[in-house]
Amino acid sequence: MLFFTQCFGAVLDLIHLRFQHYKAKRVFSAAGQLVCVVNPTHSLKYAPTRCAAAQASTEQGILPPCHHHEVVHDPQLVPCTCPLFSCPWEGHLEVVVSHLRQTHRINILQGAEIVFLATDMHLPAPTDWIIMHSCLGHQFLLVLRKQEKYEGHPQFFATMMLIGTPTQANNFTYRLELNRNQRRLKWEATPRSILECVDSVISDGDCLVLNTSLAQLFSDNGSLAIGIAITTSKAHSSEAEM
């Protein structure tokens, strides 16, 4: 009975996922956009990450403890950029994508314009939705987080990070768009480098921020569709033409 119960539950989850994907394709296929259905993940940490802890210590004037036998890390090594887990992995920037795909099983979608369909928006904070977007010869990380910035008042934060250096990130512009029930909301900005902390970007509010009531206006049966478009910045395009 336990075996059949587990199998039946897995089948129901698969049917639900297929239904969500079909519904999204029906809505957005006319615009020729690829749809990626993203299920929520409850973070297993939400203790401060290493970069967030280091930032907090610096702001408080507290230096990390020094040990005589402490290993000196290569400054070219990048810590794991996945905001979902306290992952001890470190590696060069060129292998971050393969680490995210192989270790954390993060999906990657290719295309100039895609639709990020986040399911189960009603789940309590903290919750993350995350995918990678391959476009214009680079990989980007889209993070949607539900988090209580103030106790009892959850908000949604969406940001795009380039898996590259800050100099490379300045060459691009990303746009996040919500469009439903004759309402449209756009956020356009330069992506931040993955070398910066996702946590700090969200805490600074340098991203698309939605309160619960605004998110409900654009959601459909607990799912939130975010259109994503990435272009080269105008300054970079002008330099390329010259």
**Cα 17 to chain centroid, rounded:** 20
Whole-number Å distance between alpha carbons of 38 and 128:
10
Closest CA to 16 of 178, 222, 156, 179: 222
Closest CA to 172 of 199, 133, 225, 129: 133
Q: Which of 4-13, 184-193, 216-225 has the lowest mean pLDDT?
A: 4-13
pTM of the model: 0.73
Q: What does the angle CA 67 – CA 68 – CA 73 come to, to the nearest 5 degrees? A: 75
Handedness of CA 8, 13, 16, 22 (dihedral sign): negative
**Confidence at residue 174, expressed as pLDDT on a 0 to 100 scale:** 96
pLDDT tens-digit series, residues 20-62: 445 444 444 434 467 888 888 865 554 444 454 444 433 444 3
**Confidence at residue 51, expressed as pLDDT on a 0 to 100 scale:** 54
Mean pLDDT, the chain, integer? 76
pLDDT tens-digit series, residues 134-174: 999 999 999 999 999 888 889 999 999 999 999 999 999 99
Alpha-carbon distances of 237 from 14, 53, 136, 172, rounded to whole Å: 44, 38, 13, 10
**Confidence at residue 235, expressed as pLDDT on a 0 to 100 scale:** 55
Q: Does 205 have pLDDT greater than 50?
A: yes
Domains of the chain: 31-40+77-232 (2.60.210.10)
Average pLDDT over residues 85-98: 85
Q: Which of 32-36, 42-46, 108-112, 194-198 has the lowest mean pLDDT?
A: 42-46
**Confidence at residue 115, expressed as pLDDT on a 0 to 100 scale:** 93
